[in-house]
C-alpha cells in the first residue's frame, strides 16, 4: 500500500510539472501612449495620427483590453479653465479613437485632471497632454 501512495504521489507531481511547463496565456501587455498639445489648445496635431493608429492597433490586437484616456492641463491659469481644457483634450482623443470605427465606445474610459488638482505646485513637463493606456 505504501508503494501505491508513492506512485500516485509521483504521478501527481509529474502531471503538475507537465502543466507548469506549458506557458500560461499572458494578459495583454499595457500600452502607454502620449499625445502633446499646444498651450491653451485642445486640437489634435496631425502628427499624432501614427500614435492614434498605434492605439487602434493595440486595441484591435487585444479585443479584451480596456482603453483609458486621461486629459491633462498644466498649473498655469485658473483651475476651472484648466480642468475644462483637460476635458476637451481627453474628449478630442476619445472622439478620434471612436472615429476610427473599430473601437467600441464601452471600451473607452475618459478622465481629465489639471495639475493644480494634483497639488503639484509645479507644472509637469507632460501636463499639456493626453495619456492613453491600453490594458
- Burial of 93 by CB count in 10 Å (0-12 exposed, 13-18 middle, 19+ buried)? buried
Return left, alpha or beta for 40; rule: phi > 0 is left, psi -120 to 50 is alpha, else beta.
left
**pLDDT at residue 23, rounded to an integer:** 45
* Mean pLDDT split into 10-residue runs, the chain, 135 residues: 44 43 47 93 96 94 93 87 95 96 94 70 68 94
Pick the CATH number of 27-134 from 3.30.1330.60, 3.40.50.1970, 3.90.1150.110, 3.40.50.1480: 3.30.1330.60
Amino acid at each position: 500500500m505504501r508503494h501505491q501512495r508513492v506512485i500516485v504521489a509521483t504521478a501527481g507531481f509529474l502531471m503538475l510539472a507537465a502543466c507548469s511547463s506549458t506557458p500560461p496565456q499572458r494578459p495583454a501587455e499595457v500600452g502607454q501612449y502620449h499625445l502633446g498639445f499646444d498651450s491653451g489648445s485642445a486640437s489634435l496635431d496631425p502628427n499624432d495620427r501614427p500614435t492614434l493608429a498605434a492605439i487602434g492597433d493595440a486595441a484591435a490586437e487585444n479585443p479584451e483590453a480596456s482603453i483609458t484616456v486621461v486629459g491633462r492641463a498644466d498649473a498655469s491659469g485658473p483651475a476651472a479653465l484648466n480642468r475644462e481644457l483637460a476635458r476637451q483634450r481627453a474628449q478630442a482623443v476619445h472622439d478620434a479613437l471612436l472615429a476610427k470605427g473599430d473601437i467600441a465606445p464601452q471600451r473607452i474610459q475618459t478622465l481629465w485632471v489639471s495639475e493644480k488638482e494634483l497639488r503639484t505646485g509645479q507644472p509637469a513637463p507632460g501636463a499639456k497632454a493626453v495619456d492613453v493606456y491600453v490594458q
